[in-house]
C-alpha cells in the first residue's frame, strides 16, 4: 500500500520522486529513454533488468540506465516501511541544462569488458547529505525553483562521478545517449534460474504474455514453462553431485519457489526424488 507519493518536475519531466509504502510491493518500471538514480532510505529494493538483478539495502543506492525493469520492494530487519527517493535523467533535459555542451564523460560511450546496466553504490556520505537536501525540498515545495533544480541535477551527476563506482557510472550515463538493446534469447538466458513468473519475463521483454509465449515457442521450439523447468532441473542435477550443498540451497539457486516444488518437479522428470538421486550418485562415487 502506498502511504505517500510526491514528485518534483523540471521542464515538464519528473526530476525527483519520493515514495513511502508498506511492503511487499512490486511493479513494472519501463525506462525507454531515461536513467534513474534510486536511493533507499528504509527497507530493501530488488531491481531486475533484462540482464541483471541487484538487491539494494537502506542507505545504499543504484544507478540504472534505460531499459525494462521489475521493481520489488521489501521490509528490512530494522523497518517495516519502504521509503526511497529517485532522480531521473533524460537526454533532452541534460542537453538543455548543459546548454548542449554535454560533459564528455556523459556522452562518450566507454568500451568495457562488462556491459554495465545497473551499478550499486554503497553508503557514501556526500550522497547521504544530498538526499537530506532533496527531502527538505519535498517538505518545503515553495522554496523550489528552476535554478535550484538545475543545480541539484548537476550536483548529483558530479557526486556520482566522484564515487568509487565512477567507471561504471560513466558507462551507464553515456549509454543514456547510446541505448543498448538485448535479444529475446539474451533476456531469457539471463533469467533462466531467477524465480520469475512468465508474466514478469514477458514484461522484461516488453511483450504481452500471449505474445511472449508465441515468441518463446518460435525461438525454443517448446513452451516456456517446459523449457525453463528442464533447464533448472539440469542445473539441479549438477548441484546434487556436490556433497556439501544443502537441498534448500540447491532449490533456491536453481530458481524454485521452495524445496517441495523442487522435489516434485525433479521426481516427475527423473523418476526419483532429489535426495535419492544425490544418495545414488554419492554411492557410485564411493564405489
Residues in the chain: 287
As beta bridge partners, residue 16 has 8, 87
pLDDT value for 113: 43
Q: Give the integer Cα–Cα distance in Å for 35 and 53.
A: 16
Q: For the whole model, what pTM was predicted?
A: 0.88
Q: Give the integer Cα–Cα distance in Å for 250 and 246.
A: 6
As beta bridge partners, residue 121 has 61
Cα–Cα distances in angstroms (integers) from residue 168 to residues 1, 63, 70, 149, 172, in the given order: 34, 9, 21, 25, 6
191: Cβ–Cβ under 8 A, 6 or more apart, which residues?
48, 53, 201, 204
- Which own/partner contact pairs does 249-258 have at CB distance under 8 Å and 24+ positions apart? 250/274, 253/193, 254/193, 255/192, 255/193, 255/194, 255/195, 255/196, 255/228, 256/195, 256/232, 257/195
SS3 150: helix
Torsion, Cα 181 186 190 195, to 10 degrees, reads 90
pLDDT value for 286: 47
Q: Give the integer Cα–Cα distance in Å for 35 and 66.
A: 5
- Which domains can be identified in the chain, with CATH numbers? 2-175 (2.60.120.810), 184-286 (1.10.10.60)
- How many CB atoms are closer than 10 A to CB 200? 17
Q: Give the integer Cα–Cα distance in Å for 61 and 64.
A: 10
Reading the chain (287 residues) residue by residue, the pLDDT tens digits are 999 999 999 999 999 999 999 999 999 999 988 899 999 999 999 999 999 999 999 999 999 988 899 999 999 999 999 999 999 999 899 989 998 777 776 765 555 445 678 999 988 899 999 999 999 999 999 999 999 999 999 999 999 988 888 888 887 877 776 767 889 999 999 999 998 999 999 999 999 999 999 999 999 999 999 999 999 999 999 999 887 889 999 999 999 989 999 999 999 999 999 999 988 876 655 44
Q: Which three cell numbers stand for residue 155?
A: 550536483
- Tell me if the bond preceding 24 is cis, omega within 30° of 0: yes
Q: Give the residue among 138, 175, 203 at the shortest CA–CA distance from 36.
A: 175
Sign of CA dihedral 87, 93, 97, 102: positive
Q: Give the integer Cα–Cα distance in Å for 28 and 206.
A: 10
Instruction: Tell the residue number behind the cell numbers 507519493, with chain if given.
Output: 5
Sign of CA dihedral 152, 155, 161, 163: negative
Instruction: Tell the residue number behind the cell numbers 518545503, with chain if given.
Output: 140
DSSP letters spanning 37-83: EEEEEESEEEEE-SS-EEEE-TT-EEEE-SB--EEEEE--SS-SSEE
Amino acid at each position: 500500500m502506498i502511504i505517500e507519493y510526491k514528485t518534483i518536475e523540471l521542464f515538464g519531466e519528473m526530476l525527483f520522486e519520493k515514495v513511502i509504502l508498506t511492503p511487499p510491493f512490486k511493479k513494472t518500471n519501463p525506462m525507454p529513454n531515461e536513467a534513474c538514480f534510486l536511493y533507499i532510505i528504509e527497507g530493501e529494493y530488488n531491481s531486475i533488468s533484462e540482464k541483471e538483478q541487484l538487491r539494494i539495502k537502506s542507505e545504499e543506492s543504484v544507478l540504472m540506465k534505460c531499459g525494462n525493469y521489475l521493481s520489488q520492494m521489501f521490509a528490512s530487519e530494522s523497518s517495516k516501511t519502504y521509503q526511497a527517493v529517485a532522480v531521473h535523467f533524460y537526454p533532452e533535459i541534460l542537453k538543455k541544462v548543459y546548454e548542449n555542451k554535454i560533459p564528455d564523460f556523459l556522452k562518450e560511450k566507454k568500451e568495457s569488458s562488462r556491459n554495465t546496466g545497473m551499478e550499486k553504490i554503497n553508503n557514501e556520505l556526500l550522497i547521504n547529505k544530498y538526499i537530506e537536501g532533496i527531502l527538505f525540498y519535498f517538505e518545503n515545495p515553495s522554496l523550489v525553483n528552476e535554478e535550484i533544480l538545475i543545480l541539484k541535477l548537476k550536483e548529483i551527476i558530479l557526486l556520482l562521478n566522484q564515487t568509487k563506482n565512477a567507471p561504471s557510472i560513466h558507462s551507464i550515463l553515456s549509454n543514456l545517449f547510446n541505448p543498448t538493446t538485448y535479444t529475446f534469447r539474451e533476456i531469457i538466458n539471463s533469467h533462466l534460474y531467477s524465480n520469475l513468473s512468465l508474466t514478469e519475463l514477458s514484461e522484461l521483454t516488453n511483450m504481452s504474455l500471449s505474445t511472449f509465449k508465441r515468441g518463446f515457442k518460435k525461438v525454443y521450439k517448446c513452451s516456456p514453462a517446459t523449457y525453463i523447468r528442464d533447464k533448472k532441473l539440469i542445473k539441479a542435477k549438477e548441484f546434487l553431485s556436490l556433497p556439501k550443498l544443502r537441498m534448500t540451497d540447491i532449490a533456491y539457486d536453481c530458481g524454485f519457489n521452495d524445496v517441495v516444488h523442487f522435489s516434485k518437479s525433479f521426481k516427475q522428470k527423473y523418476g526419483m526424488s532429489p535426495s535419492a538421486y544425490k544418495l545414488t550418485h554419492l554411492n557410485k562415487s564411493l564405489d
